[in-house]
């Protein structure tokens, strides 16, 4: 299904902690997002992928580094990379 969504250039739903975030398929990431991802800059990557509204929703709850790591894992899982 994820490959199909990417083929259609559709947004990908990421379910995390009772919320659903829409992120672009990796083929639509900007170069800066890809560089942040490759450099391990989790906060910058997630903030860019969620957009302003999604990032504000994520931060509306008390969060920890573990939450950010779990969200990044959910993102990569939803995209089918498994990394």
For residue 82, what pLDDT band results from cuts at 50, 70 and 90? very low
Does residue 4 surpass a pLDDT of 90? no
High-pLDDT (> 90) share of the chain, %:
81
Question: What range defines the domain where residue 27 resides?
Answer: 2-79
Beta bridge partners of 14: 21
Residue 26 DSSP code: G
Give the separation between CA 75 and CA 21, rounded to whole angstroms: 9
Domain count, the chain: 1
Taking the CA atoms of residue 57, residue 19, residue 38 and residue 66 in that order, the dihedral angle to the nearest 10 degrees is 90
Cβ atoms of 47 and 55 closer than 8 Å: yes
Whether pTM > 0.95 for this model: the answer is no
């Amino acid at each position: 299904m994820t490959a199909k969504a990417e083929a259609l250039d559709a947004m990908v739903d990421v379910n995390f902690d009772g919320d659903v975030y829409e992120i672009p398929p990796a083929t639509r990431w900007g170069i800066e997002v890809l560089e942040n991802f490759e450099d391990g800059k989790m906060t910058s990557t997630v903030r860019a992928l969620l957009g302003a509204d999604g990032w504000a929703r994520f931060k509306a709850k008390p969060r920890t580094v573990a939450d950010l790591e779990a969200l990044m894992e959910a993102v990569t899982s939803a995209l089918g990379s498994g990394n």
